[in-house]
Structure 1
Amino acid sequence: MIEIDVLGPLTVRNDGEEILGLSVGTKRLIAFLALRPRGARLAISGEMWPDVTERRASDSLRSALTRLEDAIKPAITMTPAGLGLAPGVIVDLNVAQASARRLLQPGRASTVDDLSTRAIEAFASRILPDWYDEWVLSEVEDWRQLRLHALEAQAELLILEGNLRAAAWAARAAMRVEPLRQSAIVSLIKVHLAEGNQSEALRDFDIYKALLQKELGLEPTSLLTQLVEPLRR
Structure 2
Amino acid sequence: MTPHPMVRLGLLEDFEVSFAGDVLPTSLPAQRLLARLAVVQRGRPVQRSALAERLWPEAAPGRAASSLRSVLWRLPRPRGRTLVTCTSTSVRLSHDVHVDLWDVEEQAQTICSRESPPQEVLDDLTPLTRDLLPTWTEDWLQVEQESFRQKRLHALELSSDALRRCGRFTDALSAGLGAVQAEPLRESAHRSVIAVHLAEGNHAEALRQYDSYRRLLASELGLRPSPAIRTLVAPLLGRPVDLPTG
TM-score by length of 1: 0.91
Structure 1 residue aligned with 2:31: 27
> Structure 1 residue 106: deviation in Å?
4.2
> Residues 217 and 232 of structure 1: is their aligned pair in 2 closer, same or farther, counting only changes over 3 Å?
same
Aligned partners of 2:62 and 2:137: how far apart in 1?
Answer: 23
Structure 2 residue aligned with 1:70: 77
Structure 2 residue aligned with 1:93: 101
> Residues 50 and 111 of structure 1: is their aligned pair in 2 closer, same or farther, counting only changes over 3 Å?
farther
Structure 1 residue aligned with 2:242: none
Aligned partners of 2:96 and 2:85: how far apart in 1?
Answer: 11
Aligned partners of 2:195 and 2:178: how far apart in 1?
Answer: 15
Aligned partners of 1:164 and 1:146: how far apart in 2?
Answer: 22
Q: Aligned ranges for residues 1-233 of structure 1 at < 5 Å?
A: 1-15=6-20, 17-35=21-39, 36=41, 37-38=43-44, 39-71=46-78, 73-106=81-114, 110-117=117-124, 120-233=125-238
129-138 or 64-73: which moved more? 64-73
- Identity percentage of aligned residues: 37
Pairwise CA RMSD: 1.8
- Higher helix share goes to which structure? 1
Letter in 2 for 1:32: R
> Structure 1 residue 98: deviation in Å?
1.0
The Cα offsets for residues 150-188 of structure 1, whole Å up to 9 and x where unpaired, read as: 111111111112111111111111112221111110000
Unaligned runs of 5+ in 1: none
Aligned length: 229
> Structure 1 residue 223: deviation in Å?
1.1
Letter in 2 for 1:50: P
Unaligned runs of 5+ in 2: 1-5, 239-246
Residues 76 and 82 in structure 2, CA contact (< 8 A), matched pair in contact too: no
3-state SS of paired residue (2:59): coil
> Residues 111 and 40 of structure 1: is their aligned pair in 2 closer, same or farther, counting only changes over 3 Å?
farther
Of the two structures, which has the highest relative contact order with CA contacts closer than 8 Å and spacing of 6 or more? 1
Residues 24 and 76 in structure 2, CA contact (< 8 A), matched pair in contact too: no
3-state SS of paired residue (2:32): helix
* Structure ID, larger Rg: 2
TM-score by length of 2: 0.86
